Every structure is written in C-alpha cells, then in structure tokens.
Amino acid sequence: MDLHLNGKVFIVTGGAKGIGAAISEVLCAEGAAVVIAGRNAADNAHQLSTLKEKGYTAWAVEAELTRVDDCKKVVDFTWQTCQRIDGLVNNAGVNDGVGLENGDPERFMQSLQKNLLHYYVMAHLALPALKQSRGAIVNIGSKVSLTGQGHTSGYAAAKGAINALTREWAVELLPYDIRVNTVIPAEVWTPLYASWIQTFPDPETKLASITRHIPLGKRMTKPEEIADMVAFLLSDRSSHTTGQIMVVDGGYTHLDRAIDVS
C-alpha cells in the first residue's frame, strides 16, 4: 500500500529513541522528511546518522519540550527549513511514578508538564502550518489511561487528558480537514521500558509475568508495530479516520483474561 507520504514533512517529538525512533525511521522509509525533537544531543545525533546512512531526509532539533520556547524552536526550524508541516507526532513522555501516596502536588504538576503540556503547545504552535497542509496529528498515549497502573497519578492524568484532547481537537479541527488520532501502546520494549522493568526486585520474572498475559504471541509489541499504525494514521490512507484511540498491544488491554492459547 502506498501511503503517499513522499515529500511530506513530519515532526516527531522524542524521535531519537524507542517508539519515536521507530516512527521517524518508518516515516523516512515511506519517503517523508522528519524533524526529530529531543533533549539529548548525543541521542539526536545518533538517530540522525542512522537515518542519513540510509539516505533519508531528516533533521534534529535539541529541545527540552517542557519549555515553551524550545517547542517554538522546533516548529520554527521546521517551517523555515521545509516551508511545510504535514503532521505532528506527539510522542515524548515518561512514566515517572508520581503517585497519590508517594507523590506531592509539586511533582504531580511537573509530571503533567513532562507528559501533557507540550502535546498542547506543539499542536498549538504547529496549527497554522497544519491548516495549510490539511495535515494530521497523532498522539502517543498509554494503556495506563484506560486501566490505571497504581502509583503513577501524574502520568495517568496526562495520558487520560491526551485521550480527551484527541476527541476535542478532532472536533475543533474538522473545518480544516485536520485529523487527530491517538495510538496507545501497552508493553513495548524501548529504553524507557528497559529502565522501568529494572525498578522491580526481579526484573526477569516481572517481564515474564507480563508477556505471558499478552494474548497475541505472548510477546512485547515491537516499536515498529506502533510506528506502522502512526504512519497509516498520518497518511491519507486513513482519510476518514479521526478522533480515534487505537490500542496496538496484541490484545493485552481488551481481550478476555481467561483465554489460554498455549
């Protein structure tokens, strides 16, 4: 299937690592140009050289997305360099474990800043360009917004708000033909996941206890499987899909817990 992404320009926040890196790679492989927004210069440079070695068109902007000025830097750079923005992928975030009992109001607010506010800021700033291109927004959410996880109020609140904003923005942007969707991962092996699993006393046992409950294949989702859904949702092959929350998780969140296909 040709996704018609050739020559299009996409911003991917957190595009240097994990799911974001897979998204930037898949979009480039489909012929698009990508601007990666990430705070770690070395990670940005590494991902950029990986993409360039394959002959892809990509740039990286060093940005700490909790700062509005840095978000503006990303959007301005993209506009000045490419004179168009066809889509925004809001992906950067961290499950920072700010709970009700173990957290405090200050850290809760910081968690919203890390996981929610820049989604709004980036969409707000990219909107004039997206109106011109009739572009698309894809947010990366989390299963936590649907199921809870415990001890992570800030992250859960942010991801729940992202689901709500997906519907809200889909409605507000109808007059501009801008589609807005969210992709929800559950258990995807990334640097973030690898460090999260290490917080358990016996990481290997914990990991096995999770993967054996993932119905399709008893395995983690691959970052590329999230990226493929994102590419489809950014493309005009999903031209009548908006306001949707797509769960790409091998059935982990919704299928009957009693099934046993072993």
> Which 168-207 positions form the footprint of ligand NAP (CB under 6 A)?
185-188, 190-193
| From candidates 11, 32, 48, 92, binder to ligand NAP by CB under 6 A | 92
Phi–psi pair at 151, nearest 5 degrees? 65, 25
Nearest distance from residue 226's CB to ligand NAP, in Å?
A: 8
Nearest distance from residue 57's CB to ligand NAP, in Å?
A: 20
Token pair in block for residue 46: 């590494």
Residue 155 is a catalytic residue: yes
**160 by DSSP, 3-state: which?**
helix
Q: If binding means CB under 6 A, how many residues of this protein chain bind ligand NAP?
A: 31
* CA distance linking residue 61 with residue 41, whole number of Å: 8
Token pair in block for residue 189: 């092996």
Token pair in block for residue 161: 């708000």
| From candidates 91, 181, 238, 242, binder to ligand NAP by CB under 6 A | 91
The residue (of 92 and 234) whose beta carbon lies closer to ligand NAP is: 92
| From candidates 5, 10, 14, 116, binder to ligand NAP by CB under 6 A | 14
The residue (of 48 and 63) whose beta carbon lies closer to ligand NAP is: 63
* Residue 140 binding ligand NAP, by CB under 6 A: yes
Binding-site string for ligand NAP from residue 40 to residue 79, where x marks contact by CB under 6 A and - marks none: x--x-------------------xxxx-------------
The residue (of 32 and 36) whose beta carbon lies closer to ligand NAP is: 36
The residue (of 65 and 137) whose beta carbon lies closer to ligand NAP is: 65
* Residue 96 binding ligand NAP, by CB under 6 A: no
Q: Is the CB of residue 65 less than 8 Å from the CB of residue 71?
A: yes
* Residue 154 binding ligand NAP, by CB under 6 A: no
Q: Nearest-5° angle of CA 201, CA 256, CA 245?
A: 85
* CA distance linking residue 241 with residue 233, whole number of Å: 8
Q: How far out from the chain centre does Cα 1 lie? A: 23
The residue (of 132 and 147) whose beta carbon lies closer to ligand NAP is: 147
* CA distance linking residue 125 with residue 66, whole number of Å: 14
The residue (of 2 and 199) whose beta carbon lies closer to ligand NAP is: 199
Which CA distances in Å does 154 have to 12, 96, 102, 142, 207?
Answer: 23, 8, 11, 12, 24
Determine which helix (DSSP H) or strand (DSSP E) holds 88, and give its type and residue range: strand 87-90
| In the chain, beta strands by DSSP E | 9-13, 33-38, 58-62, 87-90, 136-140, 179-184, 245-247
Q: Is the CB of residue 149 less than 8 Å from the CB of residue 212?
A: no
Q: Which of 56, 119, 155, 193 is catalytic?
A: 155
Name the residues that contact ligand NAP, by CB under 6 A: 14, 16-20, 38-40, 43, 63-66, 91-95, 114, 140, 142-143, 185-188, 190-193
Q: Which residues are catalytic?
A: 155
